[in-house]
Amino acid sequence: MIMLLGLPTACGRADAVPLTMGDYELNYSDGIATSRGIHIGSTTEEFLDAYEDYDLEVSIGSGAYEAFDAKKTPVPFTDSTQTILPAFFIDGTAATIEQICTENAIERSDLLSLLSSEEYLAEHEVEYYYMVFSWENGAVADIRTEYMDYNQDAAYYHEM
């Protein structure tokens, strides 16, 4: 399980169509592909056409993941890089971190505490989806998708 210390904005920028839970399902019928057609071997341009409107977390080498705006700063896809495309779903609806923080009158730094609190989880279903893209020499080398159900797995954060 990947834990993001600098939690990303969940679903993307205000002008982007929110990703759905189905967007995080990989298609294995003809290799591994995302709902937006990104597959092993996809180029930087193809990836950015599909996902540059969404917030990304990027790890270069084996470094820490950091929020990254591909429209402002080029991602060094030629290096050994991993890119995460994350999304939170509250009660089945995509929600940005900004939305969650505003609706609950909290600071971004308090988000993990809120989403893993017994009180919040008693009233809401909280799911976290993310796709991890591994890059080598400017092309997608691997894709995987992961999921965390905070209602079942929030104890993980209390044990840390």
Of 82, 74, 68, nearest to 135 (Cα)?
Answer: 82
Contacts of 79 (CB under 8 A, 6+ apart): 60, 61, 135
Domain residue spans of the chain: 21-158
Confidence of residue 156 (pLDDT cuts 50, 70, 90): low
pLDDT per residue over 99-136, tens digit each? 888 999 999 789 889 998 999 999 999 999 999 999 99
pLDDT per residue over 32-64, tens digit each? 999 999 999 999 999 999 998 887 888 888 888
- Calculate mean pLDDT across residues 129-144: 93
Of 49, 70, 62, 44, nearest to 2 (Cα)?
Answer: 62
- The confidence score (pLDDT) of residue 11 equals 46
Residue with tokens 């290096």: 79
Share of the chain above pLDDT 70, in %: 86
- The confidence score (pLDDT) of residue 122 equals 94
Confidence of residue 78 (pLDDT cuts 50, 70, 90): confident
Of 61, 58, 66, nearest to 79 (Cα)?
Answer: 61
- The confidence score (pLDDT) of residue 99 equals 84
